Amino acid sequence: MAEITRFSFPTQIRYGPGARAALAEFADELQVTRPLLVTDRGLPGTEAYRLTATALAQTWSGGYEASEGVHPNPVEADVEAVFRAYEDGGCDGVVGLGGGSALDVAKAARLRIAFPDLSLMDIAGREWPRRLAPFCAIPTTAGTGSEVGRSSVVTIPALGRKAVVGGQPLLADLAILDPELTVGLPPALTAATGMDALTHAIESFVCPVLHPMCDGIALEAIRLVRLHLPVAYANGTDLQARGLMQIAAAMGAVAFQKDLGVAHSLSHPLSSEFGLHHGLANATVLPFTVRFNGETDSGQYGRVAQALGLPAGDDPAAQVAECLAELNVCIGITQRLRDLGVPQTALPELAAKAMQDGCHLTNPRSCTEADMLRLYEEAW
């Protein structure tokens, strides 16, 4: 009990069908007169984009700017493009719309706005102002929980890998969870993003950091995903399932302020090197990492098993891993790494990159590069 831990859940959230109308609150309370809409390349033309654009036009009759080029696995150039669009458009606030990629880039671009003469990596080592440009986050997926997170994950070419930039000022001023904006999400993305939320919740719960409030939130997120992800996958128009998956994703992201684990260290290089969707990568490796951790302490997964609705057993980690594998199949995630375009010859290099990723440092079991290679091989 000698270590002091900070507990904090500060993000303002508006939740429910039609919650996008809360953009008016964002404009009024933060005096935003010309926002920049940040989204990814796949969103324009969708119903979620149309509904949000209508709400933006109703809120800002004088118009708004848009930057719509964020990559599915965002890179530093995406952050630079958003920063330039903000400056050139004379904007005074940011609205992020989309999945974790768009929201992460929107968050990181606010750092460039605050430090216009520095690179993103140079900014990471500086003391930041307490407040950055006003930011409203509107997720159109239910996975990353980036709308309530205080970090941004972006691939930095100079480093050759994904980098995490984080701090309290990156938090959104307002998060809008509107399940109507997730109705059009295809089943495959519903599955992958949902498993991302589940990975966050499970890894944060077993992370050996004291944060009892996050533990409780993580367990409820696990329960919600187990109940509602199969429903949202099978029937994308079910607003209750869609909405509760948004809640679960936000809860998973709140929980992982504790930190994460080895599944994320494995999945990050899979995305940066081979373009795998982050949630799909997490879903693929998660059952194997649970079994790996359970080899030294299966009991730590007892409450996870309970949250998943599993009966009490002698080997909770094995039960959880089997349940996760079955859930993957239920929602159409049946591929191994070899089916996803990852050659076996790349596994040693991936293992080396996974060791450079800091998430495994808070895994409940210490990892070596040989462990990383073993886990990749099991998932291959």
Mind listing the pLDDT tens digit for each residue in 12-67?
999 999 999 999 999 999 999 999 999 998 899 999 999 999 999 999 999 999 99
In the predicted structure, residue 272 carries a pLDDT above the cut 90: no
User: Per-residue confidence at 154, pLDDT binned at 50, 70, 90?
Assistant: confident
Among residues 376, 154, 189, 185, which one has the least CA distance to residue 277?
Answer: 189
Q: Write down all domains in the chain, each with its CATH number in brackets.
A: 13-182 (3.40.50.1970), 187-379 (1.20.1090.10)
Residue 329, pLDDT above cutoff 50: yes
| DSSP letter, residue 75 | B
pLDDT of 145 higher than 70: yes
Given the structure tokens 């606010």, which residue do they identify?
A: 110
**In this prediction, what percent of the chain has a pLDDT beyond 90?**
84
Rounded-to-integer distance, Cα 325 and Cα 198, Å: 13
Percent helix, percent strand, percent coil in the chain, to nearest 5: 60, 10, 30
List, for residues 292-327, the tens digit of each pLDDT value: 999 999 999 999 999 999 999 999 999 999 999 999
pLDDT tens per residue, range 172-219: 999 999 999 999 999 999 999 999 999 999 999 999 998 899 999 999
Asked if 36 contacts 64 with a C-beta cutoff of 8 angstroms, the reply is: yes
Residue 1 binned pLDDT confidence (cut-offs 50, 70, 90): very low
Q: What is the per-residue pLDDT across 198-209, written as a single tens digit (0 to 9) for each?
A: 999 999 999 999
Burial-class residue 218 by CB neighbours within 10 Å (0-12, 13-18, 19+). Answer: buried
pLDDT above 60: residue 8? no
76 in Cβ contact with 82 (< 8 Å): no
Distance, CA of 6 to CA of 163 (rounded, Å): 23
Structure tokens that stand for 115 in this block:
């430090």
Angle at 72 (CA atoms; ends 286, 359), nearest 5 degrees: 40
pLDDT digits (tens, 9 = 90+) for 157-166: 877 777 788 8
Q: What is the pLDDT of residues 103-132, one digit of tens each?
A: 999 999 999 999 999 988 888 878 899 999
Pairwise CA distance, residues 229 & 252, whole Å: 14
- Residue 313 phi, psi (nearest 5): -145, 175
Most trustworthy range by pLDDT among 116-125, 152-161, 257-266: 257-266
pLDDT for the residue numbered 258: 87
Alpha-carbon gap, residue 102 to 39, rounded angstroms? 5
- Whether pTM > 0.85 for this model: the answer is yes
Percent of the chain surpassing pLDDT 70: 98
pLDDT at 364 over 60: yes
**pLDDT one-digit tens code per residue, 277-289:** 999 999 999 999 9
